Amino acid sequence: MELEPFLLSDLARETGADRQGDDRRIRGASGIEDAREGDITFLLPDHPLSRLASCRASAVILAPDHPDWEGPHLRHRNPRWVFARALARLHGPLPRADGVDPSARIHSTASVAPTAAIGPFAVVGEKAIIDEGVLLEAGVFVGRRVRIGKDSRLDAYAVIRDDCVIGERVWIYSHAVIGSQGFGFEIHQGRADRLWHIGGVLIEDDVEIGAGSHVDRATTGMTVIGAGTKIDNQVMIGHNCRIGMGCCIAAHTGLAGSCVLGNGVVMGGGCGVADHTVIGDGARIAGGSGVHGRVPAGATFAGTPAREHRSWLREMAALSRLPSLLRRKGKAKPERPK
C-alpha cells in the first residue's frame, strides 16, 4: 500500500493534541517494538515511559500524565485515537474505479448518479437509486427499490436485497448480506411453515458492516442500524432489531429478532443475545456473554447468563476455589457417633 506522508504539526491541528519538540515528517506508523525512523507510535496512558527506551520512532503520542519526554511528541488524553487519525492520514483516500464497467447489469428503471462507479459484473435492480460518489465493486448485487446514499462503498460481492435503504458514507464489506429473509417459522401440525418477512432494512449514515455479516429484513417495518455504528465481521443481526447510534459489535456476535440496543453500546466478540432483549445506552457486554432480558444503561455485564461484571468476577473467584475446598472436605475426619 502506498502511504501518504504528513507533518506532525498537521496531525496536532487535526486532533487538538499539544505538539512538543521539533516538527517531523511522518512516513509510517508502527507499534513501539517495530517502529523505525520516520514512524509515529503511541503509548497508552497506563503504560510506563520506560517502554520507549529502545524505540526508534521519529515521534510518539503520549498522555498528559506521562513524564517529560525529550523527543518530538504529541500529548492527548486519548493517544490511541490520535494514532488512529495518523493511520487515516497515511492510508489516504480509498482507491476507486470510475464509470460503469461494460459487464455490469443495470436495470433500465434504475437511477445511477454520474459520479457513481459500478464495477465488473455488478447488478443494479429495478427502480434502485445509486447516489453521487457511490462505489459498487465487482459482483455486488443491489436489489429492487434499494437506495444507496452518497459516497457509500460496497466491497466485492456484497448483497443488498430488495427495499433496503443505505445511508451516506456507509461501508459494507465483502460477502455481507443486507435484507435477507429472517429466521421466522410457525409450527402447525408438526410442520414448520415460513413466516414471510416483508419489511426492509434501514442503515443510517457512517455505518460499517464487516465481511460476511448479515442483517435480516424486518417481518414488517424496518430493521434499523443507527448512525455511526460499526459492526465487525461475521455478525448476525436478526429481524426487527433496532441498533442505536455509535454502537460497536465485535465478531461472531449474534442478535436474535427484535433486540433493542441503545446508543453507544459496546459488545465483545462471540456474544449471544436472546430475542426481545433490551440493552441500555452506553452498556458494555464482555465477549462470550449470553444476554437476555434487560441490561441497564451504563452497566457492564459478563458471563452466561450475563450479569453485572463485579458479581460475575466474584462468582468466578469463588468457583476457582471450589476444587481446594472439596479436597479439604474429603480429608476431614468423619464425626464419631454419639
Q: Please identify every residue annotated as catalytic.
A: 239
In our burial notation (b when 16+ CB lie closer than 10 A, e otherwise), range 27-65 reads bbbeebeebeebbbbbbeeeeeeeebeebebbbbbbbee
Q: Which residue is associated with the grid cell 516538527?
A: 23
Of the CA atoms within 13 Å of residue 38, those in its CB half-sphere come to 7
* CA angle (219 as vertex; 212, 179 as ends), nearest 5: 25
Q: Which residue is associated with the grid cell 460499526?
A: 230
The 3-state DSSP class for residue 4 equals coil
Q: Which residues are within 8 A (CB) of 208 and not within 5 positions of it... i.e. 6 or more apart?
A: 170, 171, 172, 173, 229, 230, 231
Complete DSSP assignment for 116-178: -EE-TT-EE-TT-EE-TT-EE-TT-EE-TT-EE-TT-EE-TT-EE-TT-EE-TT-EE-TT-EE
| Assigned C-alpha cell, 257 | 429478532
Burial of 78 (0-12, 13-18, 19+ CB in 10 A): middle
| Assigned C-alpha cell, 96 | 476507486
Beta bridge partners of 118: 100, 136
At 274, the amino acid letter reads A
The 3-state DSSP class for residue 196 equals coil
Q: Are strands 39-42 and 59-62 parallel, antiparallel or unpaired?
A: parallel
Burial of 207 (0-12, 13-18, 19+ CB in 10 A): buried
